[in-house]
Amino acid sequence: MKQKLLYMELKSGMSGGGPAWIGLAGMSKSGRTVYFNGCALKRAVGGGISGNHYCLETGNEYWVSGPKKDGCDRHWAGRGLVLIAADAVSEYLEFRGLDELEPMKH
């Protein structure tokens, strides 16, 4: 399965402060379903309430996008740390053009 570096944030009931990750996610052939951390996230047809994908098992909405080169992946009104999956660190560093991860920002 094709792997892609993605930003994923739980939106359901979180008011912009849901857990967020950057990680390597599997993609379906059509690109409409993302597989990450044991979840299948399906693209929301016509857009969701606050996310662009939803979990097929729980119905929770997620925002899924590519990571940003400047590291500012959260929505401007969002808050909280963005976790980087251990298996994605080297690809993330290469994508950002960094030698090491930046210190945590609060």
- Greatest alpha-carbon pair distance for the chain in Å reads 40
Strands 39-43 and 53-55: antiparallel
* C-alpha closest to that of 78 among 24, 19, 6, 3: 19
pLDDT band, residue 105 (cuts 50/70/90): low
**Predicted model pTM:** 0.89
The per-residue pLDDT for range 25-64, each reduced to its tens digit, is 999 999 899 999 899 999 998 766 788 999 999 999 999 9
> Does residue 16 surpass a pLDDT of 60?
yes
**Which of the two residues, 60 and 1, has the higher pLDDT score?**
60
Q: Give the bridge partners for 14, in sequence order.
A: none
